[in-house]
Every structure is written in structure tokens, then in C-alpha cells.
Amino acid sequence: MSSTTSPSKGIFDSAMLEARENVVDLLTKAYWMELETVMSYLAASVNLDGVRAQEIKESLAEDVQEELGHAQRFADRIKELYGVVPGSEEFSAEQHFLQPPDEQTDTVHVIRGVIKAETGAIEHYTRIVEETDQIDPVTQDMVIEILRDEQGHRRLFEGFLREYELEGR
């Protein structure tokens, strides 16, 4: 290193190319997770039947907007890091646990699926927070905020599950 090196541009340094590509890959996975969650929650927010399902449906309908907002933030950050937001043909579904239940009154199936999806997001976003530490504080900041939303979602649905388990299905 000479004493005349230009000031660091952080994640945008040419020496950081590999790190930046890694962050884009992590963000792309997060983007797909959010979009699949939008599909799953949208379907469940409409499909569920029954008096007690109404609150779950309303909560999921709100979450659809929030998860879509997360997807948009991930997409924006992918572009800022010189990545390309992928097209739909690159999508492959993973939320087999959030497919519509056999009975549309099976709210517990949906609640458990939501908890699983939120847990998956929390795990992946925690990984992004760790991998961007000291490398890309801007991405890290954004993901910490989104991680908090997912922790809130999971906590809310854990509460729903406890109520259903206490009262029986």
C-alpha cells in the first residue's frame, strides 16, 4: 500500500468486487423470499374460511403490502450495488409448507407456515447482517430494519398459535 492511495469507497472499491457480488447474491435470495411470501400470504389472506380466521386474514393482507415493500427495498439495493434485479423465469418456489391446506378452515396450518416463513427470513437476514459487517454498512442497516419487521411478524403469529393451541382448533 502506498501512502497516496485514494480514499476508500467501501463496498464500491474495485478491490471489493467479489464482496459486492456476494452481497448482491444474498440480496437476490432475500428478494425472492419476499416475493414468494407475498404470493403465499396473498393466497392465504383470501382462502381462509371461518369466523376465527378473520383476524388472521386481515393480518396477512396487511403483511402482503409490507413484504412487497421489503422486496422493493431489496431490489433497489441490488441495483445500487450494480446488480440486476432478476426476471420471473429465475424464480423457483421453496415455500412448500405454505401451500393452501386441504381444508380452508385449517387456520393452524397457515399460522405454522407463516412462522416457518418468517423464521427462514430471520435466518437469512441475520446471515446478511453478519456477512455485511464491516463490509457494507448501508446494506447492513437496511437489513437490520427489515429483520426487525420479520421478528415482529413471527412474534405476532406465535401469539396467534398459542391462542389456537390453548382454545383447541
| Site for Fe ion, rule CB under 5 A | 34, 67, 70, 150, 153
Query: Shortest Cβ distance from residue 15 to Fe ion (Å)?
Result: 32
Query: Shortest Cβ distance from residue 80 to Fe ion (Å)?
Result: 19
How far apart are the C-alpha atoms of 152 and 121, rounded to whole Å? 12
Q: Toward Fe ion, which CB reaches closer, 11 or 117?
A: 117
Is the Cβ–Cβ distance between 144 and 159 less than 8 Å?
no
Query: Shortest Cβ distance from residue 118 to Fe ion (Å)?
Result: 5
Q: Toward Fe ion, which CB reaches closer, 13 or 94?
A: 94
Residue type for position 146? I
Query: Shortest Cβ distance from residue 156 to Fe ion (Å)?
Result: 9
Query: Shortest Cβ distance from residue 23 to Fe ion (Å)?
Result: 18
| Sequence-ordered list of residues with C-beta below 8 angstroms from that of 70, at least 6 positions apart, any chain | 30, 34, 146, 149
Is the Cβ–Cβ distance between 60 and 41 less than 8 Å?
yes
Cell of 36: 414468494
Q: Toward Fe ion, which CB reaches closer, 70 or 109?
A: 70
| Sequence-ordered list of residues with C-beta below 8 angstroms from that of 23, at least 6 positions apart, any chain | 11, 81, 128, 131, 132, 135, 136, 139
Q: Toward Fe ion, which CB reaches closer, 49 or 62?
A: 62
Q: Toward Fe ion, which CB reaches closer, 21 or 145?
A: 145
